[in-house]
Structure 1
Amino acid sequence: MIDFLKNTVALGSGLALGSQVGLRLGFHLQPHPMPHQMAATLDHPWRMKYRNPGATLGLFGILAGMHVLDLGCGTGTFTVEMARMVGSEGMVHAVEIQRPLLERAQHRLTQAGLAERVRFHHSGAYRLPLPDASIDLAVLIATLPQIPDKARALAELRRVLKPGGRLAVSEELPDPAYVPPPVTRRWLQDAGFHPAGQSGTWFCYSVVAFPEPAPLERTE
């Protein structure tokens, strides 16, 4: 009986591991947004133990009056805290490609009494509905690895960032699309960003980066 139980546990563990490996491999071979049907995981109490919105966003220097982009806002888990931090003079642009998630975020901000500080955009990352040089800080939390064309998305983020603006990318190991910090930094550098700081651990980390200055045109 003991051997049977051991074998059953080993089989179950092996199947679970194989499922995780297959899921993660699928995300890396064909990056795509997490299906909206899994939205409950975004606000799960276990996630909130290592993903406290205030603690996460506190690393990015959000100040009152800022214009902040929450790209891949999901259900608004972090949008609420962003809206509180920018104050009544600031603005948060919540962008989400999946309408069911965006609707949940809108309801959440309305319930919190903060909807007037947020503009909701049903959009992807390649053509953001924002003017050039209009954003002080762009935040991507568990989002960048899920974007198929990262170079195109990062170029668009450079377009909307103000001179002196910055980009914050944060990743977490439970996300099937997770990549370790060196991969994130390489993506940013290849897209013309200068990673200026990193916090956290490999389990859950954040990288803050600034756009590199555009090269000066030579004149004869």
Structure 2
Amino acid sequence: MGLLNALSFGAGLLTGTQIGLRAVWQRAPRPHPRVLAGILEHPLRLKYRDPAQTLGPYGLAEGTRVLDLGCGTGLFTGEMARQVGASGVVHAVDIQAALLDRARQRVDDAGLAARVRFHHSGAYRLPLADESVDIAILIATFSEIPNSLLLLEELRRVLKPGGRIGISEEIPHPGYLPAPVVRTRLREAGFRYGGQQGNGFCYSLLYFKE
């Protein structure tokens, strides 16, 4: 097989796999498979999902209390911990214990463990007190949670008055939801629109608890 044919075959295989995964996710949203976790940290992804740039629109600062819902391998958790400083805290939540272990190791290696609390939990009953966080951030996670109504009710519970929700999605993710779909769900749940950055390929939304 020549190089051109091999590249064409590889591209076709990748496209077919992506289409198949997207069809599965659209029928039944689910967490990103642990065996594919390496994709989350791939250098190509980091070109459009640089942690500091991705978190920029969400206004993290010294002392901020953050919920990192669907933290995965902790790619963004460490950057959140840096931005909230020694007086802030990041509650990193994931339903997959193996990914939490990787996230915990990443944070430990960065010397930021004192700023992060890890929780093995789903999204509908978070192990957090009422009105205890300033912002909930979901990066490539909103589309993985089957019942967005229950999710948003729970986020309303844990957010402080005037608290924020940051949602980032990207089209390479099999469960990708277009921004208009996400905006409709947040509006119907009673959250106030705070702005959007990015484009159809990769976007970030900000909402406020009324």
Q: Which residue of 2 aligns with 1:128?
A: 126
CA apart distance, 1:195:
1.8
Q: Which residue of 2 aligns with 1:158?
A: 156
1:108 and 2:87 matched: no
- For the aligned residue pairs, the C-alpha RMSD in angstroms reads 1.9
The AA in structure 2 aligned to 1:63 is A
Candidates 42, 46, 51, aligned match of 1:44: 42
| Residues 40, 211 of structure 1: alpha-carbon distance in 2 compared, 3 angstrom cutoff | same
The AA in structure 1 aligned to 2:119 is H
Matched residue of 2:118: which SS? Answer: strand
Q: Which residue of 2 aligns with 1:61?
A: 59
Alignment size in residue pairs? 209
Matched residue of 2:173: which SS? Answer: coil
Matched residue of 1:210: which SS? Answer: strand
| Residues 13, 92 of structure 1: alpha-carbon distance in 2 compared, 3 angstrom cutoff | closer
Matched residue of 1:131: which SS? Answer: coil
Residues in 1 aligned to 2:14 and 2:99: alpha-carbon distance in whole angstroms: 28
Q: What TM-score results when the alignment is normalised by the length of structure 1? A: 0.90
Structure 1: 4+ residue segments shifted above 6 A: 8-12
Residues in 1 aligned to 2:176 and 2:53: alpha-carbon distance in whole angstroms: 20
| Residues 20, 64 of structure 1: alpha-carbon distance in 2 compared, 3 angstrom cutoff | same
Gaps of 5+ in 1: 213-220
Q: What TM-score results when the alignment is normalised by the length of structure 2? A: 0.94
Higher relative CO (CA 8 A, sep ≥ 6), structure 1 or 2? 2
Residues in 2 aligned to 1:138 and 1:15: alpha-carbon distance in whole angstroms: 36
CA apart distance, 1:138:
0.5
| Residues 82, 13 of structure 1: alpha-carbon distance in 2 compared, 3 angstrom cutoff | closer
Bigger-Rg structure (1/2): 1
CA apart distance, 1:21:
1.8
State the identity %: 57
Residues in 1 aligned to 2:95 and 2:177: alpha-carbon distance in whole angstroms: 21
CA apart distance, 1:9:
7.5
Gaps of 5+ in 2: none
Candidates 27, 39, 43, aligned match of 1:29: 27
Residues in 2 aligned to 1:9 and 1:125: alpha-carbon distance in whole angstroms: 40
Q: Which residue of 1 aligns with 2:91?
A: 93
